[in-house]
Structure 1
Amino acid sequence: MPDTTDADTDADTDTDTDADSLTVGQVSTCLGVTVRALHHWDEIGLARPSLRTAAGYRLYTAADLERLHRIVVYRDLGLGLDRIRAVLDDSTADVPGALRAQRTQVAERIDRLQQLGAGLDRMIDAHDRGLLLTVEQQAAIFGPEWNPDWPAQARQRYGDTPQWRQYAERSAARGPEEWQAVADAVADLDRALGDAMDAGVPPGSPEANELVERHREVFASYFPLTREMQVCLGRMYEADPAFTAHYDGIRTGLATWFRHIVDAAARAHGIDPDTATWQ
């Protein structure tokens, strides 16, 4: 007898067939399932063809096709093959109960997919906007000095950078309460920097270095900050009028003092502040 596992793909050409039966290839086309699946269902006894040709090819009768239709329907509903077998062959099987249980699982999957869709929408929005807060929420959280145009300006300036993508990923997971915690941490750090400058804390001292590390930790709320990147930020705080105004509004000269303590900490870690780059 020929090998009937692989030969059925050619069974359509066999002339020794029952006029009312279908070959594997014909059933595959009719039901939209693969020949491999039909072979597998035959091998595990889930849907065996009732007939064979003289050459050994599988032939499916109308009754076989009806069973296959039901298998396809239950499979598309998400039932596993063992569960399908029980539904079809066990006369005591609670078919409505099995379908209700499957309906519950489908509803749970739909809910998870809806949550995933909502998360994807937030992620897309965060990449486009940065902050997923209303103008009123931004003002309440970040204070009267906050300019609601800043996120859009940052997106235009940094939108193609890895840091913006990291920032967007963090932003997508935050609501007003989480952003309030970030704003509070930044405000606490600003006060600590001003107090340390007033106290005459020198750059390179343990107290100054601790503040530099604290700045990196707080800034990680936006994206991970390397020491070289922190040096670049220190330069920007001193050179950019908007940042200088913010820090000098806390203490006159604070932007320059902050740059000095960051540079000193960088040198302690083998980094030359004069050649540091954004990396």
Structure 2
Amino acid sequence: MGMTVKQVADLVGISVRTLHHYDEIGLLTPADISSGGYRLYSDEDLEQLQQILFYKELGFPLKRIGEMMHAPSFDRQEALELQYSMLLEKRRRLDNMIALVEQTIQSAKGEIEMTNEEKFAGFDFSRNPYEQEARDRWGDKAVDDSNQKIGNMTKEEQQALGEDMNKIYRSLAGLRHQDPASDEAQAAIGEWFRLLNKMGNYSLDAFKGLGQMYVDDERFTKNIDQFGSGLAKFMRNAMAVFADNRQ
């Protein structure tokens, strides 16, 4: 006999409303129904729920999770192995950042001195958390070329690249209430196009598609909008104008 929504919610530690939402959007819809007309979760449903929660822990939006899990080519074992690798990488990055924060706290207290290199040792721009999406959209060659360019940079060059990216984000954030087609906005987004092509080979179509991803993928939106609410949408619009004007 299957488990009720309440039983599953208590087992997993999530709300009944969350499970109802997954049902409503077609992400997880139990097929079994009790004599009283209530949904019942099977062991297979619980496996799917576990998979969903793994993806959520890795930051995937629900829309993207549904697309992956409902794809004909979806393989649970393969997905678990990929999630395992991604979680290990996430732990590695968090461990590095925790160690860096601990050192910085000691430095702030005057207990130790940190060199400029040590201050940025926990930041790693050589790994792209959105790489698989990029491969799906633009192919392996484009991503491999980008990885090679970044891999050939020194740590100092990678650090400078990250600083340049943040500088452009801040510049664009200051323009985000303007018309994306304005000369000033287009000049700034042109700098973004040139910077991205230092890391890879972005065609105008790929550049425009990347801008759309900034809005479609809530992970991108959340990160970009840290510089200013609505920045992701502004960049999407400005990138589209930039690409269309040069086609």
Q: Which has the larger radius of gyration?
A: 1
Greater length-normalized contact order (CA 8 Å, ≥ 6 residues apart): 2
TM-score of the pair, normalised by structure 2: 0.47
TM-score of the pair, normalised by structure 1: 0.42
